[in-house]
Amino acid sequence: MWCDSGVDLAVVGALNGELERFVGEVFVPGQPVAGAERRADMCVHHLRGSLLTDVKRKTATGMGRVLGVSAQSLNHLVTDSPWRWEPVQNRIAARAQRLLRPAVWAIDDTTFLKDGHDSVGVARQHSGRVGGQANCQAAVSVTACGRTGVVPLAWRLFMPESWNPELSGERRGPARVPDDVRHRPKWQLALDALDELAEQKLTPPPVVADEDYGRAGEFRDGLAGRGLGFVVQVNHDISLLPWRREPDTAWAREGKHLPATGIAAGATKTPVSWHTDDGERVAHFSLLRVREAGRPVRQRASAAKTCLPDRWLLIQWDTKKPDEPAHVWLAHLPGVARPTITRLVRLAKARWAIETSYRELKNTLGIDHFEGRTWPGWHRHVTLVTAALLFLTEYRARTLKNAAPA
């Protein structure tokens, strides 16, 4: 039966035919012909192992022992097999987009704790999982969040500066890091992933992100420049100007900017509800039209010879201290003259669905159980595990549809 930690052996055995069809559609097209049949079989075994409750550690050894399959062959599929992960990830993204019809694409990152220092991209860096600094890998994802599930559409492995060639040449070779891969900020990795999805002609819903991304003005500019709508969390003290009908040039009203909390003081507060896994929540929010006005924003506008960005400021007020903001977002929805406060709140809160995806990928499917020493191995592994999540999501959607009353 299905449970929070996966599937039992009897159920996954009954799904072998569906797994084989899934692998044939998602993994086989465009791959090397030599060894294709054997490689497809191992992909089926890997997905079976990821889904099983009977495997506590979803490593090649753990899955091989339960499935009665060679651990060496499972490991080879990830580390040394010649299949390309990029077209597989593209097909996963297309299928997930069709299935979920997501309300938002959520940008976020997650970490994979490590003991050693040789796994590709590993460094001592912040991990939300431990609430501080830890030895770990970090990865950025763009995740489709819909009513019937949450599935990552794209992954980017974050490479700390310590992995740049001039600082870590001796590690890059064994880790098989491509020559052109260097440190890039996480917000830039997110934009890169969005560009790749755009090349697939996927139609994006609004993009949502937490403060780690939203506070980067270049990230907000990048989203707007790509014609994407967004609702992103920002610092409480972000510099803004009260909106006026006449566009503000880069240095207009210089010195008259205010922090978000100052602009929102005395604003109308509206109760708005939204849905969570724990039921309906309600809080008071304010919505104001503003222009971004911090010095970096002005400098970018001046260099580009554009006016200051026109945005919507959404503030959630603290339930215990009604005059203090709990969260602050900036929003931009192209083609929408005036978004409703209810819509913006529900878009902003939809970001939390990504935690469901990360939890299932880690607790159920074992995305962080693989050592991940090499660049190709890490990417093949996350592709296989994401495919397992998509298969699980498709199965649940069919089951729910079949169980629905006529």
* pLDDT, greater one: 15 or 247: 247
pLDDT (mean) for 252-274? 93
Residues sharing a CB contact under 8 Å with residue 184, sequence separation 6 or more, in sequence order: 158, 159, 192
Amino acid identity of 25?
E
**Is 357 in contact with 151 (CB distance < 8 Å)?**
yes
Q: How many C-beta atoms lie closer than 10 Å to residue 295's C-beta? A: 12
CA-to-CA dists, residue 390 to 23, 93, 146, 274, 339, angstroms: 11, 9, 13, 26, 32
pLDDT greater than 70 at residue 3: no
E strands, 237-324, are 239-242, 258-259, 270-276, 279-292, 310-317
User: Looking at residue 129, what is its pLDDT?
Assistant: 82
92-129 pLDDT, tens digit each: 999 999 999 999 999 999 999 998 888 999 999 999 88
**Is 319 in contact with 335 (CB distance < 8 Å)?**
no
Considering only 8-17, 49-58, 59-68, which range has the smallest mean pLDDT? 8-17
What is the C-alpha end-to-end distance of the chain, expressed in Å? 24
**What is this structure's pTM?**
0.93
CA-to-CA dists, residue 78 to 21, 24, 65, angstroms: 20, 18, 17
Three-state DSSP at 83 gives coil
DSSP assignments along 9-39, one per residue: HHHHHHTHHHHHHHHHHHTSTTS-STTHHHH
336-364 pLDDT, tens digit each: 999 999 999 999 999 999 998 899 999 88
176-214 pLDDT, tens digit each: 999 999 999 999 999 999 999 999 999 999 999 999 999
The mean pLDDT value of the chain amounts to: 92
Q: Choose among 10, 81, 9: nearest CA to 41.
A: 81
Please report how the helices 71-79 and 375-403 are oriented relative to each other, as an axis angle in degrees rounded to 10: 110
